[in-house]
Amino acid sequence: MQVGGFNNVNQIGALAQQNQLENLVSVSIRGWTNATQQDLLNFISRKTRISVRNSVVQGDTITGYVSPQEADQLVKFSGYRFAGNSLKIQKADGGNPNANTNDTITVLRSVLLRRYNAQTRMLDLGNLFNDPELVQHGMAPKNVNTQSKMFPAMMKVASKEPTMVVESINLSDNNLRDVNGVTTLAQTFPHLKNLCVANNSISRFHSLEVWKNKFKELRELLMMNNPITSDRLYRTEMLRIFPKLVVLDNVVVRDEQKLQSIFRLPVEQTQFFFEDNGLASSSTDFVANFLNLWDTNRMQLMGLYTPQSQFSLSVDSSVPAATVPNAQTTPTFGYYLPFSRNVSKISSDKTIQERLRMGPEAIYEVFGSLPMTKHFLQEQPHAYSVQAWTFSQVQGFVITLHGHFEETAKPEIDKNKSSQGAPASRGRRYNHGFTSTANVKLSPKSFDRTMVLVPNPNGSIIIASDTLTIRPFCDSAWAKPPTASQLPPPQQQPQQALQPQPQPLQPQAQMNVPLSHTPLNAPAVPGQLQGTVGAGVLQLPPEVQAKLSPIQLELLQKLHLETKLNAQYTYMLAEQSMWSYENAIQGFRNSANNLPAEAFV
C-alpha cells in the first residue's frame, strides 16, 4: 500500500520521460478506492479495450499512460460505476505527470498554510470535507477510505514546513469514527499541547489506544459531541491514555503542579559542575590538554603518573534501549575486554588483581594497547559533561568526564601478535586467532572517566587514580534538544572549548534550595510570543549584583527568562517570594495580568 505516493515522484519522472518518448499521454483515475489497482485496470481493459500502461498509485489517484487517441476515448468513460463508486478519469495536463503530484503537494501545502495561525501556533484541520480548495481539486475526503490516504499525505507535507510551529490542532467536524486515519498526527507533532476532536463519531476507547504515550506533552483534549464521552469510564480511560493530560473537555482533571513534580527530578540536569571558579578553569584546561595528548601521543601523558598511581578500565557492555537516540546496537569491545576490570562481571580475584595497573610502565602497557582515538571537545562541547570537586583526604580534587570518542586506528601495541615466535608475515588480518575482525571493528564509543588529581608543591599535577568506563556509543542525556521555546545559548567564545558555569557549593543550608525545572506551561505574556523573543541575559546594576550570591543570580536569570519581566520587576518578584522559584512563578501567574506593560522587556 502506498502512502501518499510521494516516494513515487522519481519513478514517475522516469516513467514520464520514457512515455513521452513513446508519445503517450498520462491519465488520472479517481474514485476507485474500494478495489485494488489491478482490479481497476482489469475492469477498464474489459470495458474499454484500452490497457493503461505503467500505472502508479498516488494517494487516491492512479496515474497511467495511454496513447492520445485512447486518452480521448477513456475520458468518455468518466462517471462509470465501479465497485460502488463512480470513476473520475481525466487527461493530465500537458502530458506531464509530475504536474499531478506536485500539484497535490502544492494544494495540500496551500491548504495547510491557510489553516495555520502563527500567532496562536494553531493548525486548524477542522471540517476538511468542506474545504473549498480541497473540494475544487477533488481531494476533499469523501469517506474514511480517502481520508486515510489524504491525511498522511497532508502530515508529510506539514512535517516539511519548518516554519510551522504547531502547539494546537483542531480536528473537529471530520466525521471521524476512530483515529486510524489520522494516527500519523502523533509522528508529525509528538510535542502537541492541545488537541480538539470535537463533533466527530468516535465511540470506542480502543481506537485511541494507538495514541497511548504518544503525545507526551498533550495538556488539553476536547472531545465533546463524540459518543465516547458518555461512557462511564471515559474520564478514567482518557487519563490512562494521555498520561500528562490536565484539561479534558474544559474540566481540570489533573493537578498540574503535582503532575509536573511527579515526572521531574528535584533538579534539572546541567552540563557542568565545578566546586569553585579556580577549579573550573584548571580542570577544563586539564581535561582539554589531557584528551589532546590522549588522542595524539599517549606517551607524553606518562609524566602525570607516579609509581603509586593506579589505572584500570572497565567495560560496560550493556546495550542502551533502542529508544536512546543514536544508540549503538551491536557494540564491539574486542580491544578493551582483555583489560576490563569490571568487578561486577569478573569473579577471579587473580584477574581483578592483574588488571589493576600501578606505575607508569604498567599503565602505559594498557594505554598503548587501546585503539587510537579522537575526542571532540573543541568541535562538540555540548557532547561532554564534567563534574569536579575537592577531595580533602588527598589534598586534591576529583574530575569526572562523560562523553564520547571516535576510534581512529588500531592500537600501537598489538596484543595479538604474541611474542612467542609468531611469524611476522601473519599480521592481524590473517590471524584466525581469538580476535575476529568483527570483534575489533573501530567505532565510536561513549565513556566515563574519573581521575583523582593531586597538585604538587611545584605547581605540577599528578594523577593518583584514573578509572575509565567504556560503553556503547549513544547520545548524551544532558544535551538538550532545541525546542521552540528554548532560549539562545549563553554567549560562547569560539576559541574556548568549554564554558563552565561555576556554581559554588554553599555551606549554609538555606542557600541550597534546589532550583526546580522550568514548568512546561509557562504563562504566555499577552501580546508576546513565548520563546526567543525579548528575554536575554539579565542586566543588573553592579551594586545590586555585588550583594547577591551566584545562586540568587541564577534564580533571577531563570525568572527573567521565564517571565520576560525586566530587571527591576524580576528582582522585586524574587524578593517578594523569598527567593523561592516556585513561589515566584506562582506569584507571577497570579498577578501577570495586572502588571503594567513596561514591566516586561
Residues 205-264 that bind other proteins (CB under 8 A): 213, 216, 232, 235, 239, 243-244, 252-256, 258-259, 261-264
Q: What is the DSSP letter of 484?
A: T
Considering only residues 382 through 421, tell me which ones interact with other proteins, judged by CB under 8 A: 385, 387, 389-394, 398, 400, 402
How many of the chain's residues bind other proteins (CB under 8 A)? Answer: 89
State which residue, 455 or 526, has the beta carbon closest to other proteins. 455
Cβ proximity to other proteins, 412 vs 582, nearer residue: 582
What is the C-alpha separation between 499 and 501, in angstroms, rounded? Answer: 6
Q: What angle do CA 292, 481, 479 make, to 5 degrees?
A: 35
Taking the least distance from each CB to other proteins, the nearer of 145 and 450 is: 450
- Count other C-beta atoms under 10 Å from residue 260's C-beta: 18
Min. distance of Cβ 474 from other proteins in angstroms? 5
**3-state DSSP call for residue 61?**
strand
- The three cell numbers of residue 174 are 471530520
Distances from the Cα of 8 to the Cα of 11, 53, 56, 145, 468, angstroms: 5, 16, 8, 20, 50
Query: Least separation, in Å, of the C-beta of 526 and other proteins?
Result: 27
Q: Is residue 10 a contact partner of residue 21, using CB atoms and an 8 Å limit?
A: no
CA geometry: angle at 327 spanning 324 and 330, to 5°?
A: 135
Q: How far is the CB of 100 from other proteins (least distance, A)?
A: 37
Q: In the range 72-131, which residues lie near other proteins by CB under 8 A?
A: none
- Interface residues for other proteins in 427-486 (CB under 8 A)? 446, 448, 450, 452, 464-465, 467, 469, 471, 474-478
Q: Which set of grid coordinates corresponds to residue 350?
A: 587473580
* Closest C-alpha among 224, 501, 510, 242 to residue 386: 501
CB of 266 to other proteins, least distance (A): 4
- When binding is defined by CB under 8 A, the residue of 157, 241, 315, 573 that contacts other proteins is 315
Among 6, 65, 273, 339, the residue binding other proteins under the rule CB under 8 A is 273
Whichever of 240 and 589 has its CB closer to other proteins, that residue is 240
CB-wise, 65 or 581, nearer to other proteins? 581
| Interactions with other proteins, residue window 181-200 (CB under 8 A) | none
User: CB of residue 528 vs other proteins: minimum separation in angstroms?
Assistant: 24
Question: What span, in angstroms and rounded, lies between the C-alpha atoms of 165 and 188?
Answer: 11
**In this structure, what are the phi and psi dihedrals at residue 187, rounded to the nearest 5 degrees?**
-75, -35
**Footprint on residues 518-547 left by other proteins (CB under 8 A):** 520
| CA–CA distance, 26 with 17 (Å, rounded to integer) | 11
* Torsion region of 252: left, alpha or beta (phi above 0 gives left; psi -120 to 50 gives alpha): beta
Q: Which is nearer to other proteins, 383 or 535 (CB)?
A: 383
Q: What is the CA radius of gyration of the chain?
A: 32
> Does residue number 135 form part of the binding site for other proteins (CB under 8 A)?
no
Would you tell me how many other CB atoms lie within 10 Å of the CB of residue 514? 10
What is the rounded distance in angstroms from the CA atom of residue 404 to the CA atom of residue 475?
Answer: 9
Q: Which residues contact 168 (CB under 8 A, 6 or more apart)?
A: 120, 121, 122, 123, 192, 193, 194, 195, 196
**Residues 343-362 contacting other proteins, CB under 8 A:** 343-345, 349, 352-353, 356
Q: How far is the CB of 277 from other proteins (least distance, A)?
A: 14
Nearer to other proteins, 119 or 508 (CB): 508
Q: Which of 68, 278, 325, 490 binds other proteins (CB under 8 A)?
A: 325
For the CB of residue 389, give the shortest distance to other proteins in the complex, in Å.
5
Cell of residue 334, nine digits:
574486542
The H or E element containing residue 81 is: strand 81-82
CB of 458 to other proteins, least distance (A): 20
Which CB sits closer to other proteins, 207 or 387?
A: 387
Q: Choose which of 14, 265, 524, 537 interacts with other proteins (CB under 8 A).
A: 265
Closest distance to other proteins from the beta carbon of 118 (Å): 26
Residue placing its CB nearer to other proteins in the complex, 96 or 229: 229
398: nearest Cα among 388, 412, 411, 385: 388
